[in-house]
Amino acid sequence: MSPAEPSTSAEPRSPADSPRVRFAPSPTGYLHVGSARTALFNWLYARSAGGTMVLRIEDTDESRNRPELTDAIFEYLEWLGIDYDEGPSYQSDQRERHREAVQQLLDDGRAYLCDADDNELAGTEMADGRAVRFRTPEGATVIDDVVRGEVAVDHAQLGDFVIWRSDGSPTFVLANAVDDADMAITHAIRGEDLLSSTPRAVLVAEALGATPPIYAHLPLLVNEQRKKLSKRRDDVSLESYRKRGFLAEAMANYLALLGWGPRDGVEIRPMAEIIGQFRLEDVNKAPAFFDIAKLEHFNGVYIRELDAEELLVALEPHLTSEDVPWPPERYRPDVVAAMAPLVQEKLRTLDGIIPQVDWLFLEEPTIDEQSWDKAVVRGKAAPEILDATIATLADCPWDPDTVKDAVFAAGEAHGVNRSKSQAPVRVAVTGRSVGPPLFEPMVDHLTREEVLRRLQTARSHL
């Protein structure tokens, strides 16, 4: 994308102008939920208001930029369904334009050169090894933020700030102010953590004769302790959530509600309806709780809406990854196809399919110790139920109803109800006390010999 011609005057924009927004990530880390929420809110505003979405890669920090991180930005925007109308443009390509802007500020007396000891130098000629500071005037800057309302900052708090580093690179504030002006950005929708830099950006833009964008600073995302989400402390990576089996539609739907809500109160809905409901002025300035349990609930709803073929396609990467507990040669797609409809209602994440079916692909089930202790060790008449079940299953017809009746009869003979009588058998065969329906999958997908071996192994451990 070629940037628009630089603004040369501070002409006010008409409210009727089509809005132009930008998502401007830095490729210095993998995209996280906070950045994804920012991208989504920019996109929602552009789509709801008939505006333009611009993607700008802010890659001026050469020491930390990596190509794979830029590629990941593209990948995850596509995954979430966030498209853009212009871009990607790269801030590093605008280095000379940034230098020209700084030189203009120097020539106009709005900035000054500094030597290596940060002392002001006479003259305005830029050269390598010299930094440039913006000459902050007296007074105050008032920002009419769409989300936070009026924010006033006394210039005495800002001081004279650096706009050009001695290594020959622009600072974040300078590059943002220039690029927003050159791209005719009307609305800068970004995280609250950038609010402190906004007065500086406004001062630079106005000194260059440009009209600053309208700002909307989105509320912080916080964890259950109401602390700001942290990469060091919290699970914030989109990659992590995708690997766990969160559907893109569920994630986008949930992110849209972090700081905003539809006026009709309906939260889980198609993105087209969210676009129709979205109003930037409805964004709340209070911190937004990133609630994993609520996200899992959303994801479960979306999983249940998948048809049989869509569900199998979504599950397949999680069942064939290198992390599954069973040997690849024991995996059977036909078994998954039969089991998926039985467990679909229980799934909150796609990787939740693994503990539902692993017992059908493992040589021996992985025994959950808590389930074993409750159902087998402390379970009423567990040894007797296992003994009777082993004896009956050794030569009875191998069909679900007969096997089920044998287990229930063993329990009833010792005063145990049906739900509790199958508990030791379930743990012995599947490794867990909860899971999908037991008898049909066990008979259909395991041999009599495999089932008897597991029952005998459990009995021998008592």
pLDDT tens-digit readout, 248-284: 999 999 999 999 999 999 999 999 999 999 999 999 9
Q: If pLDDT is split at 50, 70 and 90, which confidence band does 7 have?
A: very low
323, 340, 360: which is the final residue of a domain? 360
Between β-strands 20-23 and 52-57, what pairing exists: parallel, antiparallel or unpaired? Answer: parallel
Average pLDDT score over the chain: 93
Instruction: Note whether 40 and 80 are within 8 A (CB).
Output: yes
Flag whether 423 is in a domain.
Answer: yes
pLDDT tens-digit readout, 92-103: 999 999 999 999
> What pLDDT does residue 46 have?
98
Between β-strands 131-134 and 162-164, what pairing exists: parallel, antiparallel or unpaired? Answer: antiparallel
pLDDT tens-digit readout, 363-394: 999 999 999 999 888 888 999 999 999 999 99
The CA distance from 258 to 260, in Å, is 6
Flag whether 416 is in a domain.
Answer: yes
The CA distance from 327 to 279, in Å, is 51
Between β-strands 52-57 and 131-134, what pairing exists: parallel, antiparallel or unpaired? Answer: unpaired
> What pLDDT does residue 28 have?
83
Whether residues 380 and 434 share a domain: the answer is yes
Whether residues 341 and 374 share a domain: the answer is no
Say whether pLDDT at 244 is over 70.
yes
Q: What is the pTM of this model?
A: 0.91
Q: What is the average pLDDT across 305-316?
A: 98
Omega before 88 cis (within 30°)? yes
Flag whether 48 is in a domain.
Answer: no
- Output the CA torsion 178→230→33→192 (10° steps): -40
Q: Considering only CA atoms, which of 259, 282, 262, 265 is closest in space to residue 274? A: 262
Cα–Cα distances in Å, from 276 out to 30, 48, 77, 263, 305?
A: 30, 6, 20, 11, 22
Whether residues 328 and 402 share a domain: the answer is no
Neighbours of 129 (CB within 10 A): 9
- Max mean pLDDT range (27-36, 140-149, 410-419): 140-149
List the catalytic residue out of 227, 228, 231, 294.
231
Say whether pLDDT at 3 is over 50.
no
| Cα Rg, the chain, nearest whole Å | 31
Whether residues 402 and 444 share a domain: the answer is yes
Whether residues 454 and 403 share a domain: the answer is yes
Q: What is the average pLDDT across 330-334?
A: 96
Question: Quick check: is 231 catalytic?
Answer: yes
Flag whether 96 is in a domain.
Answer: no
Flag whether 415 is in a domain.
Answer: yes
Q: What is the average pLDDT across 139-153?
A: 96
Whether residues 351 and 395 share a domain: the answer is no
Instruction: Note whether 112 and 132 are within 8 A (CB).
Output: yes
> What pLDDT does residue 122 have?
87
Flag whether 329 is in a domain.
Answer: yes
Flag whether 438 is in a domain.
Answer: yes
Q: Considering only CA atoms, which of 217, 213, 108 is closest in space to residue 163? A: 108
Whether residues 450 and 384 share a domain: the answer is yes
Q: What is the average pLDDT across 233-242?
A: 91
Residue 52: beta bridge partners?
20
Say whether pLDDT at 8 is over 70.
no
CB within 8 A of 220, min separation 6: which ones? 191, 192, 193, 228, 229, 287, 288
Q: 134: part of which helix (H) or strand (E)?
A: strand 131-134
Flag whether 156 is in a domain.
Answer: no
Q: Which two tokens stand for residue 337?
A: 């196809």
Dump the DSSP string for 300-351.
HHHHHTS-HHHHHHHHHHHHSSTT-SS-GGG--HHHHHHHHHHHGGG-SSGG
């006010």: which residue's tokens?
12
Whether residues 336 and 383 share a domain: the answer is no
Q: Considering only CA atoms, which of 44, 41, 46, 60 is closest in space to residue 17? A: 46
Q: If pLDDT is split at 50, 70 and 90, which confidence band does 408 have?
A: very high
Dump the DSSP string for 150-187.
EEEEEGGGT-S-EEE-TTS-B-HHHHHHHHHHHTT--E
> What pLDDT does residue 12 have?
39
The CA distance from 45 to 430, in Å, is 49
Whether residues 319 and 391 share a domain: the answer is no
Percent of residues, the chain, with pLDDT higher than 70: 96
Say whether pLDDT at 105 is over 80.
yes
> What pLDDT does residue 77 have?
97
Look at the chain and report how many structural domains it folds into.
2
Q: If pLDDT is split at 50, 70 and 90, which confidence band does 13 have?
A: very low
Instruction: Note whether 170 and 141 are within 8 A (CB).
Output: no
Say whether pLDDT at 60 is over 90.
no
- Give the chain's count of helices (H) and strands (E): 19, 12
Say whether pLDDT at 14 is over 50.
no
The CA distance from 113 to 434, in Å, is 70
CATH of the domain at 428: 1.10.10.350
> What pLDDT does residue 62 have?
74
Q: Containing domain of residue 325, as a range?
A: 308-360
